[in-house]
Amino acid sequence: MESHILSLTVALLGFLSPCLTRLTPRVSFPMGSPGRHLTCFHSHNIRNTTTLLLSEDGDWLYVGARDAVLALDVSNKDQIHLRTKLDWSPSDKDLDQCSMKGKKMADCNNFIRVLQFLNTTHIYACGTFAFSPRCTYINSETVVMSFQSDEGRGRCPYDPYQRNTAVIVDEELYTGTVADYRGNRPVISRHLSEGNRVDLKLDDTLGWLEDPTFISSRFIPEEEKIYFFFSEVGTEYDFIDKFIVSRVSQICTSDVGGQRTLQRRWTTFAKAQLLCQADNELPYNVIQDIDTLPPADGAPADDTLFYGIFTSQWSVNSGRSAVCSFRLADIKSVFSGNYKVLNRDTLQWSARVQEKVANPGECGLHNASDNALRFVKENFLADDSVHSVGRSLTLVSADSYSHLTVQRVRAANSRHYIVLFLLTESGYLHKVVLLQSGAHIIEEVQVFEQPQPIKSLKLSIPKGMIYIGTSEGVVKIPTANCSFYWTCAQCVLSRDPFCGWDSVSRSCVGISDTPATLLDQDIDRGNVEEACNSVSLTDRTKFGPNKLPGASCPAGELVSVSLNEVVRLQCPAASRLSRQLWERPNSRLSSDLYLHLEDGSLSFVATPTTLGHYLCLSTENGYQQTMAIYHVKQKSSPIAQTPTSSAHPQTHPIPTTQTVTRPGSRLHTPVGTWPKKTKSRQGQTNPTLSVRGPQFSATQPSRNLTSWTKESGWRETEFQDGEPLLAVRGHCHLKEIVVLSVLLVLCLSLLITMGIYVIRPQCHSRTTPQADTPARDIRTPVDQGVLRENEFLSKCNRQASGHVSGLACNRTLTGSNSHLPNTPI
């Protein structure tokens, strides 16, 4: 009966769950993209570089790999150097014994799973060592073993694919792992204790842990407690088998066990459920990773936040990930409340009804009475659950996240923002800023292509770097990528708290470089007009690196087509959050004639009505900019085609469009152009498109450009040197007068010829004898009139075709059917 009730509840909650809105990264960088620099370390004989340990100054990265411990020099921003490699592999005898146990030879190596600083001179390391764990001490300077390895049972897992956690406090090792070969004895234990302190572990007979998967552990110095995060089977829910719940447990570092009861066992162990759930939704109950965000300067330790990734075992939330945050004050409140009691006869949990004898989880219970220790021994599960901050979800995504790290950043507007770095299962790193309006994904960077079974994430705040360890190698990524945004508008629209627009250097720079001259970024709203209202014309038209020589203004691309031909005009997107619009001067794009495609392009059939100019606009967060200008004209014969300008020929070709596509996604990441804004003579700001290619650098100054705006029609736009380009109007009309005169003469000659043709039969009929049979024209008068009209129009069209003016950049009219390069994303 209870199972049917649960199924009905799950179905109802799934129906009530709101539709998931997929968060779209604003900019995407595929692997190898020049817009996002990655530094990689890999070697053909070094694999499984997944355990990372970063020095306090951020100059050294110690890596636990397969059969080796590495010391990598990461002090250089753009390089990773292997300084020392310590080989630590099992012997042939150990490998044979592992194989005899039925294990694969590929899993019988020594996979380093514990790597922690013991003190200022030594590192403590543990490895699986052919399913027989071993631990050793390593000198952190020379990376040499100081002692022989000893047994690592209870300190390191046997299976290289089994998750574990470890932390060292005051040269004592606290671990969460399994203590047997089969993985059936989970333990939270302390090792390396000396003096009157003894090693401690959980009581195996009490069922304190139920098939857990350990995720992480954190030491809070102010509390003198270590918190362990894991998922396990929730035995308090008896209506379903193996219902998974996420847990937080605590132990006190001062615990030394009981004198008679709980000898060499924890007296301060307690656990509670972590609830990552929104109202009227099923909980995300399986924790994947968690990271700690220390409180802001001057704030109490109770403001410490724990950000975690959660997935769901329910099919309605399959494939989704949620991020929740938990406050230390809420965790302490739950542990100081009531506890559930377990009926040993029925194995049923229930809320406490009897009077408290002791406070479970309280430090100092090792000196308590036997009655108090028996009480905390049987009452270790908190009655209440730890709810997320605000009882809401920080982030919900259709991407399957596996690891995260978090940082608090002080932006250019002097406000603090929380930035999350989330690693997806598919190999992308998402950079997310938490705003008042919700989460905003600033960018995504592809860090590996093939799925990685084990991976890790490490953040270096002093160096501003993120390190990702995978089976293939180590990747280093800067947390900031400000130089990618080379205009004030793009710098503001990124809403990146690491970046700010410098009004002196006229560039987007890191907040730590020149904070005194940075403009207000407006991270929350991303309002370009307000944030960039004091930026000069030069700032607005500044180009980024590798810009195209001679392409200081966007050319109106000439597209020659034949009548009744299907035309498709491409519109590059400023970002994946922008929306493309199409406009024509003094005309409306009717849905009967034009088709707006999903990729932002415009398709139509070439007719006399659809020939002319087209303007592609990109709109993002209320800011509009021109991305492309096209002039569609009818093809003309080489004889009738006359040059429209005596300007110098174009010497710098537009680079080939380069488009990169994320696997499994319909969204493309174009590389090649970026927009900029120019200012008209009337003081209005008219958006234009600047073209750049990775293989070029700009040397020529800006030019004038004739562009079209909704308010003022076609106007000549002014640039720095004041040299005009070919304009749509205002040039000499001598050529047009000559052409019209020739056409007039031809039309008059044709009319005279037609008149003679009509009069001649009448004259001939008068002089022909009546006896003869007159010749008859088989055409009707209507057919003859149509024939004459067609002949007239055909001759006029042959003479008048090919004389349509267009836009030009640098005095050159583009005569190719190719489209403008796409904008880099």
Domains assigned to the chain: 2-478 (2.130.10.10), 494-540 (no CATH), 544-751+798-825 (2.60.40.10)
Q: CA-CA distance, 176 to 171, in Å (whole number)?
A: 17
- Given this model, what pLDDT does residue 660 score? 35
pLDDT of residue 762: 63
CB of 628 within 8 A of CB of 554?
yes
For residue 673, what pLDDT is reported? 36
Q: What is the pLDDT of residues 482-503, one digit of tens each?
A: 999 988 999 999 999 999 988 8
Calculate the CA 601 to chain-centre distance.
24
Spatial distance between the Cα atoms of 69 and 476, rounded to a whole number of angstroms: 18
Residue 240's pLDDT band (boundaries 50, 70, 90)?
Answer: low
CA–CA separation, 767 and 776 (whole Å): 16
**CA 133 → CA 98, 193, 824, distances in Å?**
12, 19, 50
- pLDDT category, 625, cuts 50, 70, 90? confident
User: Pick from 625, 582, 600: which is nearest to 489 by CA?
Assistant: 625
Place of tokens 């890191």: 510
CB neighbour burial string for 199-220, b if at least 16 within 10 angstroms, e if fewer: ebbbeeeeebbeebbbbbbbbb
Which sign, positive or negative, has the C-alpha torsion 504, 508, 509, 515?
Answer: positive
pLDDT score at 438: 93
* Lowest mean pLDDT, pick from 2-16, 214-228, 274-288: 2-16
Does 698 have pLDDT greater than 60?
no
pLDDT bin (cut points 50, 70, 90) of residue 651 is very low
Instruction: Say which residue the tokens 């552990």 belong to.
Output: 217
Q: What is the predicted pLDDT for the residue at 607? A: 94
Average pLDDT over residues 102-117: 95
> What is the Cα–Cα distance from 306 to 247, expressed in whole angstroms?
13
- The residues with which 217 forms a beta bridge, in sequence order, are 228
Q: Which residue has the higher pLDDT, 587 or 224?
A: 224
Please state, for a pLDDT cut of 90, what percent of the chain lies above it. Answer: 54
Using DSSP bridges, classify how beta strands 465-469 and 602-605 pair: parallel, antiparallel or unpaired.
unpaired
Contacts of 672 (CB under 8 A, 6+ apart): 572, 655, 656, 657, 658, 691, 692, 693, 821, 822, 823, 824
Residues 114-157 pLDDT 10s: 999 999 999 999 999 999 999 999 999 999 998 888 999 999 99
User: Burial of 292 by CB count in 10 Å (0-12 exposed, 13-18 middle, 19+ buried)?
Assistant: middle
Q: Is the pLDDT of residue 778 over 50?
A: no
What pLDDT score does 22 carry? 67
Is there a contact between 86 and 105 (Cβ–Cβ < 8 Å)? no
The predicted pLDDT at position 763 comes to: 56
Provide the pLDDT confidence category of residue 664 given band limits of 50, 70 and 90: very low
Q: Read off the pLDDT of each residue in 642-663 and give the average, rounded to a whole number.
A: 36
Sheet order of strands, 594-596 included: 566-569, 602-605, 594-596
Rounded average pLDDT over 167-180? 96
Q: Nearest 10 degrees: CA dihedral of 345, 348, 350, 354?
A: 10
- Please indicate, yes or no, whether the overall pTM of this predicted structure exceeds 0.85: no
User: Which range (115-119, 215-219, 373-377, 419-423) has the least confidence?
Assistant: 373-377
Residues 157/177, Cβ–Cβ less than 8 Å: yes
Question: 128, 98, 103, 91: which is closest to 113 by C-alpha?
Answer: 128
The residues, any chain, with a CB within 8 Å of residue 590's CB and separated by 6 or more, are none
Rg (CA), the chain: 37
CA distance linking residue 532 with residue 491, whole number of Å: 10
Q: Which position has the higher pLDDT, 721 or 286?
A: 286
Average pLDDT over residues 602-630: 93
DSSP state of 590: -
Alpha-carbon distance of 590 to 404, in angstroms, equals 48
| Higher per-residue pLDDT: 386 or 625 | 386
The side-by-side arrangement of strands in the sheet containing 612-620 is 557-561, 623-634, 612-620, 579-583
Alpha carbon distance 535, 571 (integer Å) = 27
Please give the pLDDT value at position 412. 87
In this prediction, residue 454 carries a pLDDT of 86
Strand, helix or coil at 738?
helix
Decide: 633 and 561 in contact? Cβ < 8 Å: yes
- pLDDT higher than threshold 50 for residue 706: no
Query: Cα–Cα distance between 598 and 367 in angstroms, integer?
Result: 71
pLDDT greater than 80 at residue 189: yes
183: pLDDT confidence band, cut at 50, 70 and 90? confident
Is pLDDT above 80 for 396? yes
CB–CB of 470/452 below 8 Å?
A: yes
In 221-372, the DSSP E strands lie at: 225-233, 244-252, 270-275, 286-293, 305-311, 321-327, 340-343, 348-351
